[in-house]
Amino acid sequence: MARKAPRRTAERILETTLDLFNRFGEPNVSTTLISAELGISPGNLYYHYPAKDELVNSLFDRYERALTELLNAADGVRDVEDAWFFMHTLFERIWDYRFLYRDLNDLLSRNRRLETHFQQVLENKVRAIRAMLDGMNRAGSVRIDPLEAAPTADSMVVVLTYWLSFEYVRDPRRALEPESAQAALLRGAHHVLHLLVPYLEHGQRMHLLGLAGAYTDAGRPQKQN
């Protein structure tokens, strides 16, 4: 049992750090604040994570694993409803680690490992969106020329990657607070998929407009019959 304690402490440190980073932004959270929030000594924190960058990298690794698992499902998207659920879930993953996107440029300028790995994240997003478009094209939901698919996928990834920054600039005091999550995710998913409107089959275009308002009381999308 004694061997499990360090792992539990390390996980608790990560969970608390993620919460603080998301609430206040990574540049505004010190290791002293993290240890105080946890009620442990700075030495105990440094035993598990000797530098703040190791906390950032560990959280990024968790995010990258969760994101990769989701992106692998992109080739299963066949219509607008599939795309809506896929995109909403993608935004949920981003929201869970929103500090990465809120402070992205600053983090990349200071952390070489994050710089190189986030480039791979962008490439994986683009590949996933291309796979989604290919699947929808084969199913007849969209009609898009391969020459148009590449820049369209890039544009969708740009909106996907910087949407939370846009939300933050619009309302810095409230945009990234938990109570704003569902509205922000809804708007993000809608605007990313709106880029497909010129290529959607008519019925699919109408369905997308309907899905934008089809939410349960809890704010999550609900499948239509």
Query: What SS3 string covers 133-187?
Result: HHHHHHCCCECCCHHHHHHHHHHHHHHHHHHHHHHHHHCCCCCCCHHHHHHHHHH
- pLDDT tens for each residue of 51-69: 999 999 999 999 999 999 9
Tokens for 223, please give them: 């499948």
Tokens for 157, please give them: 């990834």
Is the pLDDT at 193 greater than 90, yes or no? yes
Say if CB 51 and CB 83 are below 8 A apart. no
Looking at residue 214, its pLDDT comes to 56
Q: How confident is the model at residue 223 (pLDDT cuts 50, 70, 90)?
A: very low
Domains and CATH numbers, the chain: 1-50 (1.10.10.60), 57-211 (1.10.357.10)
- pLDDT tens for each residue of 117-168: 999 999 999 999 999 999 999 999 999 998 999 999 999 999 999 998 899 8
Residues contacting 47, CB < 8 A, separation 6+ = none
**CA 171 from centre of chain:** 19
Residues contacting 185, CB < 8 A, separation 6+ = 88, 91, 92, 95
Distance of alpha carbon 38 from alpha carbon 16, whole angstroms: 7
Q: How confident is the model at residue 90 (pLDDT cuts 50, 70, 90)?
A: very high
Q: Averaged over 72-85, what is the pLDDT?
A: 95
> Which pTM does this prediction carry?
0.86
Q: How confident is the model at residue 7 (pLDDT cuts 50, 70, 90)?
A: low
